C-alpha cells in the first residue's frame, strides 16, 4: 500500500488520472477493478474514478508494489532552449521553431515540452522531485514542420482552465501561410477524416460518416506570381486542417510535402511548410482564475520569418512569373 497527499497541483485532478500518473504499468482494467474493490481510497473512504481531488486529500492505493517501480530511465539529452513570448504565474506562451516536436515521439528527438520543464526547473518554478502527478504541459500543439506560438501551463488548474477555454472557443488562433496559387477568400466549410495509421487527412465538400466539420477562414494579404501570403483563422481545430483544407481549395501550402505542390516546392527549394501560428487572441476570461492575466489580451509574433520568406519569393524569378 502506498499513501500520497494531494498538493496544489493536484487540486481538481480526476482521481483516475492521479492513479495513472503515480503508478507504472498498471493496466486500466486492473485500476478500475481496484476502484470497485475499494482498494483505492481518499481520506479513508471509497472514491469513484472521476472524483476530483482537493489539496490535502490523503490518497491510499492498495496495489502491488510492482506498480510503483520507477519508470525505466530515459536516455539523457540536452533539452532545447525555449523562447518565451509571454509569461505570468500560471501560463507561458512559447515560440516553437519548425522541426522541433511539441511532444516526444518514437524518434526520440527532444521536444518543446522538455525544454519548457527545464526552463521552469532552472528558474525554481518546477521541482520534479516534489511533484507526484503533475508536470508542466502544453495546451495546444503544432505539427513538427509548423512554427509559431504554443500555450503552456505551469500548474494543473491553469492547464484545466485553458483546455476548457479552448474548448469553449474563447481562444482564437491566427496563422500566416504562403500558398501555391491564390485561394478563394472567406469562410470555407469542408469535412475531414484523419487516417491515424497513415497520418493523412482526406477532405470532402459534404458531410459523411467518419468525417468531421472543418471551418477555415482565409484572407489573402498579398500575391506574387503563383504565390499568396494569407492570414488563416481557425474556427475549428482539426488535424492538418489548414494544410489539407487549402490543398482542397486548390492552393496548398508552400513546402508541404504531404499535401503540397511538388513542382513549386522543387522550384523554390522550399523543404519546410510555410506555415506560422502567428497570433493568439483571448476573449474576456474569469478574473478570479488562473487565466486572468490573459483576459482580452492579444499575443503575436512581431516579425515572423515567414514575412521575409514571402518578400524573398516576390523579389525572385518565381515570384515575378505570372501564372
φ/ψ of 128, rounded to 5, equals -55, -35
Dihedral, 101, 106, 108, 109 alpha carbons, nearest 10: -20
Q: What is the distance between the alpha carbons of residues 176 and 230, in angstroms, rounded to a whole number? A: 6
Q: Give residue 74's pLDDT.
A: 57
Q: How far is CA 278 from CA 46, 77, 88, 149, 174, in A?
A: 48, 29, 20, 6, 6
Helix (H, G, I), strand (E, B) or coil at 176: strand
List of the chain residues with pLDDT < 70: 70-76, 318-323
- Cβ–Cβ < 8 Å for 185, 249: no
**Alpha-carbon distances, residue 189 vs 12, 17, 61, 209, 221 (angstroms):** 37, 36, 49, 16, 21
The pLDDT of residue 321 is 52
| pLDDT for 322 | 44
d(C-alpha 253, C-alpha 247), whole Å: 7
Cα 318 from chain centroid (whole Å):
34
Q: Measured at the alpha carbon of residue 217, what is the angle toward residues 102 and 284, in degrees to the nearest 5?
A: 70
What does the pLDDT read at residue 316? Answer: 82
The pTM of this model reads: 0.82
Measured distance CA(139)–CA(161) in Å, rounded: 10
CB-based contact 70:24 (threshold 8 Å): yes
Amino acid at each position: 500500500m502506498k499513501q500520497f497527499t494531494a498538493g496544489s497541483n493536484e487540486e481538481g485532478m480526476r482521481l483516475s488520472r492521479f492513479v495513472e500518473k503515480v503508478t507504472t504499468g498498471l493496466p486500466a482494467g486492473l485500476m478500475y477493478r481496484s476502484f470497485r474493490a475499494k482498494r483505492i481510497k481518499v481520506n479513508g473512504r471509497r472514491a469513484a474514478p472521476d472524483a476530483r481531488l482537493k489539496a490535502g486529500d490523503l490518497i491510499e492505493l492498495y496495489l502491488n508494489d510492482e506498480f510503483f517501480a520507477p519508470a525505466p530511465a530515459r536516455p539523457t539529452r540536452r533539452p532545447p532552449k525555449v523562447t518565451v513570448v509571454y509569461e505570468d504565474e500560471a501560463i507561458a506562451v512559447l515560440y516553437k521553431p519548425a522541426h522541433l516536436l511539441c511532444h516526444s515521439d518514437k524518434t526520440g528527438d527532444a521536444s518543446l515540452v522538455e525544454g519548457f520543464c527545464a526552463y521552469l526547473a532552472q528558474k525554481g518554478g518546477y521541482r520534479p522531485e516534489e511533484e507526484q502527478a503533475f508536470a508542466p504541459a502544453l495546451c495546444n500543439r503544432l505539427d513538427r514542420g509548423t512554427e509559431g506560438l504554443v500555450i503552456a501551463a505551469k500548474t494543473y488548474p491553469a492547464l484545466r482552465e485553458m483546455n476548457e477555454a479552448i474548448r469553449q472557443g474563447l481562444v482564437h488562433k491566427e496563422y500566416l501561410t504562403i500558398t501555391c496559387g491564390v485561394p478563394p477568400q472567406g469562410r470555407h466549410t469542408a469535412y475531414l477524416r484523419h487516417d491515424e495509421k497513415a497520418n493523412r487527412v482526406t477532405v470532402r465538400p459534404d458531410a459523411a460518416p467518419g468525417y468531421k466539420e472543418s471551418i477555415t477562414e482565409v484572407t489573402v494579404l498579398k500575391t506574387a506570381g503563383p504565390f499568396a501570403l494569407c492570414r488563416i483563422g481557425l474556427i475549428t481545430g482539426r488535424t492538418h486542417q489548414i494544410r489539407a483544407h487549402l490543398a482542397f481549395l486548390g492552393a496548398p501550402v508552400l513546402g508541404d510535402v504531404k499535401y503540397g505542390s511538388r513542382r513549386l516546392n522543387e522550384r523554390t527549394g522550399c523543404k519546410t511548410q510555410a506555415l506560422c501560428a502567428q497570433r493568439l487572441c483571448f476573449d474576456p476570461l474569469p478574473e478570479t482564475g488562473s487565466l486572468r492575466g490573459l483576459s482580452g489580451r492579444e499575443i503575436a509574433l512581431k516579425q515572423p520569418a515567414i514575412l521575409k520568406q514571402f518578400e524573398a519569393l516576390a523579389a525572385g524569378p518565381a515570384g515575378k512569373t505570372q501564372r
